[in-house]
Structure 1
């Protein structure tokens, strides 16, 4: 009889290789994937799915998704405790994303890139700007003209304040030459709440996950004005921001961090696991099924990118009035003028 591969535990879900699985080539004996539970993180339940694929691909003998409470901004500092490895025996990785980066900046705690060891950026999620189907804002140009005319009079919704959509809205405003401090933004705990807020007129437009809003767009209940991706998105009839002369490309993203004081050997082992995960057919199928874009970066490349992305977010959060100071400066407009 084949042994069950899943065991429900109080701390999370443990995935174990079945009797027929070969763990001889695994990179880690036990892997714990830590997932923040704070509101607004935006990548709920990805840890469990990741743990399943890691075991199915033979990268770990067992893997457990573990929920971690507490403040989102301090998660990289608090999640690992006094754990020191070695990774091959008992590895621990923390799910991270753009909201965690922003939360750390807003809380004025240690930046995520410095509070832990950046291991890999795994997947991304493009955003779409939508309005109700009966909105008088027919195009992005209509939206931009109204925003320039009266920034405070155009309320835009998205996930919680300081999160990915709020940062993106600040970037759009900045690129359009609008004072970000005047932007009116409403944060909602869930995408469903945000869509409801749009439909009842609490906000005039909504920034949200293109993946999550695709069905509402397909049903004709929402009209897309622009997408934040570099190329157009299949199934969404809307230009990219670059096509409407806003030189901006932006994606919410999800990655993994290790403990701050990882040894070089443990860091290399964790990166090797992520390299093989990204190449695993099971992971690629999972990404396709959930509409996640694979945006893989690992090791020093991820660390450098995360440092740059943190600086970009910090500058926008400062202009939105959520930070007292900023290390970044905007040099000129992001819009191509005639």
Structure 2
């Protein structure tokens, strides 16, 4: 890493720490969890523009417009498929005024980056939504179908650049699993990782990559404008309002759900955990959140903490197995 990038990352981490301090009340004097109704920081462990970021800002909007939380703040801390944000959250042990977006991507990031902290080290609050990824190519790409892309990919596995989110995340899992399904050695995949959907889109539009994996809702506007083409969807069945064939419809046995949820710092009081759970439960019932589900084409898979906790454990094992089998990590 260059000295400039190292300094930038250090400055970013410092800025996040300052934001936490400014947005929060003293955790030691706020053990009843009541402060979560006044000020709450939503940590987004990815760059602006991606699914986690969109999720957090939709939560923020719904909380604020319905007086669930008086002053919700969103702070971005990208890096390591969410593991940098995870480490930051774990270090805030006992802080009751912070929640963080998490999901499939972070579970993979923990494995690939051999991260010291795991999602199970946090306090699970709720699972929220699930969406589906798609394979995209530029609008003027010669590839008009998944078969076209696969044919070219087979001829030059290393020469075909596939973009997406961080290595170990959902996008990279899909890219490597797709390669394996169509007879390409997963270890030969030329995968180009980016910090989030906000970086993947310009890479596609500038032809820096030949194809990319990303959330369909993130790039839907570009597809409708003709700037991108969507070749396949990871859903288990056709989705209403999305005119894109699934992998399964194209005889490729590939289905990878991409879920998101929220967790809190470890070591918080039971009162605070309950209060944060109530905040999320109230927020997901608001008209603004229901509208967000429809606009972003998210599937509601809400689970409270008692259901979300065992789900994280089972998903961690599943994602680890997928990553190891696909050759992304040992």
The two structures have a TM-score, normalised by structure 1, of 0.73
Matched, 1:219 2:231: no
Unaligned regions of 5+ residues in structure 2, if any? 1-17, 25-33
Paired residues in the alignment total: 301
Which residue does 1:103 correspond to in 2?
109
* CA distance in 1: counterparts of 2:201 and 2:87, whole angstroms: 34
Alpha-carbon shift at residue 221 of structure 1 (Å) = 3.1
The two structures have a TM-score, normalised by structure 2, of 0.75
Which of the two has greater helix per residue? 2
Which residue does 1:287 correspond to in 2?
293
Which of the two has greater strand per residue? 1
* CA distance in 2: counterparts of 1:73 and 1:183, whole angstroms: 23
Which residue does 2:88 correspond to in 1?
78
* CA distance in 2: counterparts of 1:100 and 1:241, whole angstroms: 24
Which structure 2 residues correspond to residues 114-263 of structure 1 after superposition, within 5 A?
A: 114-148=120-154, 150-189=156-195, 191=197, 193-263=199-269
Alpha-carbon shift at residue 256 of structure 1 (Å) = 0.6
Runs of 4+ in 1 over 6 A off after TM superposition: 12-15
- The structure that has the greater radius of gyration is 1
* CA distance in 2: counterparts of 1:125 and 1:37, whole angstroms: 18
Matched, 1:309 2:309: no
Alpha-carbon distance change, 168 to 278 in structure 1, aligned in 2, over 3 angstroms = same
Q: Which has the higher contact order (CA 8 A, sep 6+)?
A: 2
Of stretches 122-131 and 61-70 in structure 1, the one that deviates more from structure 2 is 61-70
Alpha-carbon shift at residue 210 of structure 1 (Å) = 1.1
Is the contact between residue 119 and residue 267 of structure 1 (CA under 8 Å) also seen in structure 2? yes
Alpha-carbon distance change, 14 to 74 in structure 1, aligned in 2, over 3 angstroms = closer
Unaligned regions of 5+ residues in structure 1, if any? 1-9, 16-25, 326-338
Alpha-carbon distance change, 109 to 152 in structure 1, aligned in 2, over 3 angstroms = same
Alpha-carbon shift at residue 110 of structure 1 (Å) = 4.1
Alpha-carbon shift at residue 150 of structure 1 (Å) = 4.7
Matched, 1:35 2:43: yes
